[in-house]
Amino acid sequence: MKSLFTRLHHRRGWSLVALAVICCAGCSGPERWDTSGRVTYGGQPVTEGHITFDPVKPGTGGGFARIVDGHYDTRQQGRNHPGGPHRVTVAAYKGLKNPKNPDSDVALLFPAYRIEVDLPTEESTMDFDVPTDWGKNNSAK
């Protein structure tokens, strides 16, 4: 016959296993999707910048990507998104204020461009064209 200590220790071990299985069942979070596309400013490719995808519904985590030579891709130095309504922000850089100092601030090509879109719940391509007059008539909101 097993001692009381052995029986309690055995039960506690199985209880911990059951608890771990229950906890892990809900850990995966929402499914996420990659998006890529072109980013232009007045029809011209944005040379350098970043794009962010912030969900309108909080708690699901957003996505982002670098813009390089007019293109972005969440698979390349970025993070995918959960789909659905998002606030998209595009920031484009003119370049470093002081090219000899890589730690210097960057100058923005235009104030942050924001738009709400409904991102698909599948891998997708979405292009963004920032109007030329955006930088003249708008400030970062």
Domain membership of residue 84 as a residue range: 35-137
Give the CATH number of the domain where residue 113 resides.
Answer: 2.60.40
pLDDT of residue 94: 85
Q: What is the pLDDT of residues 53-97, one digit of tens each?
A: 999 988 888 999 999 999 999 999 799 998 999 999 999 998 655
> SS3 for 80?
coil
What is the number of structural domains in the chain? 1
Q: What is the pTM assigned to this prediction?
A: 0.71
Residue in 90, 68, 73, 80 with CA at minimum distance from that of residue 119:
80
